[in-house]
């Protein structure tokens, strides 16, 4: 499954994404620096009704956002070295908490992801356009 979108279209891309992912909780986002992982994660949170300002978790590894009665964890593993560090930072607990988890830089700790993780990759098409693929990596 794949979508190509610009920033103008990201809202509808995020809505379309959730429509196809009923029951899924953990999402791992691959893509080079600046590919648009954080930008798409924010769009996904907004599509789920997160009202608090969504900020990039660059300086915290785990951010949690309220979404009605649910919590969305937005994680960025970029600063971690491996699975052990991820465990220590509480990433594994979050991944198995049953809450939504949207994770950037999963390649830092690939071994701790649950079996039913949805793998997403984002590629730069041009300055304004990104291509997102699900389970296609």
* 134 class by beta-carbon count within 10 Å (0-12 exposed, 13-18 middle, 19+ buried): middle
Query: Smallest distance from the beta carbon of 27 to ligand ATP, in angstroms?
Result: 14
Rounded-to-integer distance, Cα 134 and Cα 1, Å = 5
Binding mask 9-38 for Mg ion (x = CB under 5 A): ----------------------------xx
Residues 38-57 that bind Mg ion (CB under 5 A): 38
Query: Smallest distance from the beta carbon of 35 to ligand ATP, in angstroms?
Result: 4
Rounded-to-integer distance, Cα 32 and Cα 2, Å = 17
Rounded-to-integer distance, Cα 131 and Cα 83, Å = 28
Binding mask 62-81 for Mg ion (x = CB under 5 A): --------------------
- Minimum CB distance to ligand ATP smaller for 48 or for 96: 48
């Amino acid at each position: 499954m794949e979508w190509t979108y610009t920033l103008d279209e990201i809202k509808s891309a995020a809505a379309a994404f959730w429509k196809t992912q009923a029951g899924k909780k953990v999402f791992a986002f691959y893509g080079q620096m600046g590919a648009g992982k954080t930008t798409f994660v924010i769009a996904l949170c907004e599509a789920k009704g997160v009202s608090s300002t969504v900020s990039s978790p660059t300086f915290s590894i785990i951010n949690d956002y309220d979404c009605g009665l649910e919590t969305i964890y937005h994680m960025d593993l970029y600063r971690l070295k491996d699975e052990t560090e991820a465990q220590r930072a509480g990433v594994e607990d979050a991944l198995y908490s049953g809450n939504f988890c949207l994770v950037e830089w999963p390649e830092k700790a690939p071994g701790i992801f649950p079996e039913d993780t949805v793998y997403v990759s984002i590629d730069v098409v041009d300055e304004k356009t990104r291509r997102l693929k699900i389970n296609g990596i």
